[in-house]
Amino acid sequence: MQLNNTRRFRLYIFKSNKHIYANLIDDYKQKVITSSSTISKDTKSKLKPIRNCNTAGIVGANISLKIKALGIKKIIFDRGKNLYHGQVKAIADATRKAGIIF
């Protein structure tokens, strides 16, 4: 049995009734490496209090900046139980536009 030594981190998207969250998770260590959401300090000043595709795009751009600062280029996109539509698609598009591959 040969183990795969290439580790990819997982970008998990969670949506609540009021907010949207993007967490970068290391499944081997079972820890959240970095995160961004509509209630984060660095994104809260740029957002209106409405959860829509525009705010999701800002959250996606913010998490992609944090991922690039860590030197990570390839990730796994985990949308959870959400459909790949609307806000989830806006986060994915903003992350891909910044150069993160998944």
Per-residue pLDDT reduced to its tens digit, 47-101: 777 788 999 999 999 999 999 999 999 999 999 999 999 999 999 999 999 999 9
> Under a CB-based contact definition with an 8 Å cutoff, are residues 43 and 58 in contact?
yes
> Under a CB-based contact definition with an 8 Å cutoff, are residues 20 and 91 in contact?
yes
pLDDT at 6 over 90: no
Q: Taking the model in full, what pTM does it have? A: 0.86
Q: Assign 45 to helix, strand or coil.
A: coil
Q: Output the CATH code of domain 9-97.
A: 3.30.420.100
Span 35-51, pLDDT tens digits: 999 998 888 777 777 78
